[in-house]
Structure 1
C-alpha cells in the first residue's frame, strides 16, 4: 500500500502512453491491480492510486483534487453517498448511451443492475457513475448462541431480541459506532426500519426537510441506548468499526456474538480457518446469517446499501478513454472476480448468477445479499450529504450518551442550523 500511495502521478508512463490514474479504496486492491493491467490498451495505461481507508477521508482527498480541477484524477472509486455531491458540483462526467439507459431502467427493476445499486449513481435524472459492487449488511451470528437463547433465526428478528438473546447467554452484539460514516449507516438503517428518514426532499438542497426528530428517530435512539446499557455491549462500543468486532465471533472462550457487518465477512472468516486467531472448521460451520434486524417488530428492516461506484473526473484530459476504461473495470467478469476473491458482491444480476453458480458461497447467503440490496435503504441522496453525516455524528456520538428523549430533537435542530449556515460542523 505504501508503494501504491507513493506512486508518482505522471501524464505518461514508461511506455510513452498516457496514464489514466484510478483512485481506489483499499478493498480488493489485488483485483483492482489485475484489472488495471487487463483494461490498459495500446492507447493508454491505467495506474492504481490508493485512497485512505476511511470513506470520509476518501471524499476529502478526491474533493480537494476535483475542486482544484485536477486533470490527473481520471477514474475514482466512490462511496455511493458522494455521487450526488460530486455530480452536483460538476466534478463527474455523465455516463451516456446504452449503459446509462440500462442503469436508469434498473432503478425501476427493468435493467441489468440491481435496483438498489443503480439508484446510487443517478442524480437529477442523469447517470454519473457506474456501479462496481453493491454492498449491504446482514446479521452474522453463532448458531449455537442463537439456539441457546431460544431465538428462532428462521423468522425475522428485532434488535431488541438480538440484544436480549446475547445478554442472556454472555454473548455480545457487534456494530459500527465510532464517530465516522459507518455509525451514520447504522443510525440511518434504524430510522428507516422504523418508517422514517433523517432528511427528506433532498433535491431542495439546504432546504431539505429535517425529519430525524420523529417517532422513528426515537425508536432508533432507544435501540442504541438499549445496546449501550446492556451486557451485550462490546467494551470498545464507542470506537467500534467494521474490523473490531470480527474477533468476537470466535473467541478463545465464550459463546461468540451477533454482528451486523458487510458482505466481506464470509470470505474473511473462511480465509482464516485453521490460522492463529481464526476459526476452526467446526466453528466456521457454526457461523449463521440472517436478514438485518428489524427496528420495530412486524416492520421489515431496511438493510444498509453501500458499495463502490466508478466515476470519471470532469477535468480529465482523456474523457473518452477514461469512460472506456470504466466500462472495462466494471465488467461482469471483474464483478465476479471481486466477489470470489474478495467477498465484494456484484452490482448486476448476471454477475450474481455466476457467483451463485460458482459454489464458492452458500446459495441462500447469495440470495440474502441480493435481496438486502434491492429491499434495503440508502442513505440520504443529497449534494450536502457530508454536512448531514457530520451533523448526525456530532450529536449521536458517543452511543453511550444517546437518549431517545433528547438526541433526535437536539440533532434535528443542529442539522437544520448547519444546512442553513447558522452553525458550523
Structure 2
C-alpha cells in the first residue's frame, strides 16, 4: 500500500493499492471535481449552527471562488488545543481556517502553525474592533488570528440581597471585599468558578490584573519569562480567593464549580452574587419561559461591572472569546483570508451575537437596535470587553495555567504563601525541571 497525493486536489490522504486500480478509482471518486472551486475546511467551536450559516453565506457571496465546509472541534478548550496541535504539528494541509481560543494564539503563532496576516490584511480584518480582542490575536506585533467573537465576565447580583445588605454593586468603586462582607451579612453565596480548570485561571488572572499586577513579566520571552505572582497584587488576589473560600459565602461546591454550577447556585435560594459571562441572563430568561425557573428570580437579577480589587483602581474584567486563523499548511491561503474577512464582517458578528448569545468584537454591534433589544446590558458588555485584561500572551500558556491552577487548588488552601510557592513551581515547569 502506498500513499498518493493528487496534485491540485483536496484528496491529500487518499490511499490506494498499487495492485487494485478499481479501489484507487473508487477513492478518487469521493474527492470531487478537480476543476471546481476549492473547498475550504473551517474547524469551528460548537454552537447552534451560527458558524455553518456564516460559512454558507460567505461561500454564496464568493461568486464561486470557494466553498466552505465546517468541522466541529471538541467542546473544551483543552480538547480543541490537543486536536489542533496534533494535526498542525503533522503539517495537516486540510486545515484552512481554524478557530483558536484567545489563550492559544501565541503558542500556535510561535510554533509556525498559523499564517501571519499581512499589515494590509490586518488593517482590513480589525477595522472597527475593540482593542482588547485584537490584542489576543496578536503575537510580537503581528496579527495571526482575527477576532471572531469576544466575551467579558460581569458581576451578577440579586437585587434584593444587595438592597438588604445596603450595598450598590453598580457603584464604580464596589470591591470584592465589600461584596464578601455583604454576602456574609445576608447569609448568601458568591458563586465563582473554582474547579481546577481554565475558568479558575480566569478568576485568578483577573484579580491579579485588577490589583495592578501581572502573572508573568516579559511573557513573550517564552520559557525565560519571569513569574510575578509574588507581588502586592498577587498577595491581594490570594487573600480574596482564600478569604471567600473559607467564608460562609463560599458555595459548598466551589472547588468543583464551573460556569453552569455557579449559575445554578446563583439562581438558588442562597444566591447572592456571581461572576460569570453574559450568557447567563438569556439562560435565566429561557429557563423562566420553559417553567424551570421562577420569573421572580429573573426579575431579581442585576448586573454590574466586574468588582474592583482596590477601590481606587478600575477592574480589568476577564476576557474570553475566539479568533480565526489560517492554517500554515493550507493549499488555499488567499481564499482562506478572503473567507475570514467575510465571516468576520461586522454585520455577521452582530447577527451571531443575536442568534448565538456570543458578544461581538465590534464596537458598533452594541448600537444595533436588535442587539440593544436583546441585551439590556449591551453598553456594559462593550465597556467590559474594551477594558478587559487578557490572560498571559505566551507560547507556553498551558504550562503557566497548569502551574497556577494546580498550586491554587483547592481555593480554601490559598494563603499568603501561595503566590511565592506558585512562582517557584511555575519557573521550574517553564525550565523543564518539574512536570505538571
TM beyond 0.5: yes
Q: Is the counterpart of residue 381 in structure 1 residue 365 in structure 2?
A: no
* Unaligned segments of structure 2, at least 5 residues: 1-9, 13-29
* Unaligned segments of structure 1, at least 5 residues: 1-8
- From 418, 422, 426, give the equivalent of 1:411: 422
Deviations along 1:176-202, one digit per CA (max 9) or x if unpaired, are 111111111110111111111110111
Match of 1:147 in 2: 163
Deviations along 1:52-73, one digit per CA (max 9) or x if unpaired, are 2221221111111111111111
Residues 136, 262 of structure 1: 8 Å contact kept: yes
Q: Distance in 2 between matches of 1:188 and 1:249?
A: 22
Match of 1:198 in 2: 215
Residues 100, 323 of structure 2: 8 Å contact kept: yes
Change (3 A) 1:292 1:20: same
Q: Distance in 2 between matches of 1:256 and 1:148?
A: 13
Deviations along 1:385-417, one digit per CA (max 9) or x if unpaired, are 11111111121111121112x211111001111
Q: Distance in 1 between matches of 2:270 and 2:326?
A: 47
Q: How many residue pairs get matched?
A: 404
Match of 1:324 in 2: 338
Q: Is the counterpart of residue 424 in structure 1 residue 435 in structure 2?
A: yes
- From 166, 173, 192, give the equivalent of 2:183: 166
Q: Is the counterpart of residue 262 in structure 1 residue 283 in structure 2?
A: no
Change (3 A) 1:307 1:279: farther
Q: Distance in 1 between matches of 2:96 and 2:310?
A: 44
Residues 144, 255 of structure 1: 8 Å contact kept: no
Residues 293, 301 of structure 1: 8 Å contact kept: yes
* 1:99-110 matched pairs, under 5 angstroms: 99-102=121-124
Q: Distance in 2 between matches of 1:347 and 1:13?
A: 37
Change (3 A) 1:357 1:73: closer
- From 61, 71, 76, give the equivalent of 1:54: 76
Residues 112, 349 of structure 1: 8 Å contact kept: yes
Match of 2:307 in 1: 293
Deviation at 1:91, TM superposition (A): 0.8
Match of 1:4 in 2: none
Q: Distance in 2 between matches of 1:247 and 1:338?
A: 26
Change (3 A) 1:29 1:23: farther
Change (3 A) 1:165 1:10: farther
* 1:300-379 matched pairs, under 5 angstroms: 300-354=314-368, 358-362=372-376, 365-379=377-391
Deviation at 1:356, TM superposition (A): 6.8
Deviation at 1:290, TM superposition (A): 0.5
Q: Distance in 1 between matches of 2:282 and 2:89?
A: 37
Q: Is the counterpart of residue 93 in structure 1 residue 109 in structure 2?
A: no
Q: Distance in 2 between matches of 1:165 and 1:14?
A: 64
Moved more, 79-88 or 201-210: 201-210
Q: Is the counterpart of residue 132 in structure 1 residue 158 in structure 2?
A: no
- From 139, 156, 161, give the equivalent of 1:123: 139
Deviations along 1:327-373, one digit per CA (max 9) or x if unpaired, are 121111221122112221111122222267642221xx111111111
- From 271, 274, 278, give the equivalent of 2:293: 278
Match of 1:3 in 2: none
Residues 366, 372 of structure 2: 8 Å contact kept: no
SS at match of 1:29: coil
Q: Is the counterpart of residue 25 in structure 1 residue 37 in structure 2?
A: no
Q: Distance in 1 between matches of 2:353 and 2:371?
A: 12
- From 233, 243, 250, give the equivalent of 2:267: 250
Q: How well do the aligned residues superpose, as a CA RMSD in angstroms? A: 2.0
Q: Is the counterpart of residue 223 in structure 1 residue 248 in structure 2?
A: no
SS at match of 1:295: coil
Change (3 A) 1:418 1:86: same
Deviation at 1:157, TM superposition (A): 1.6
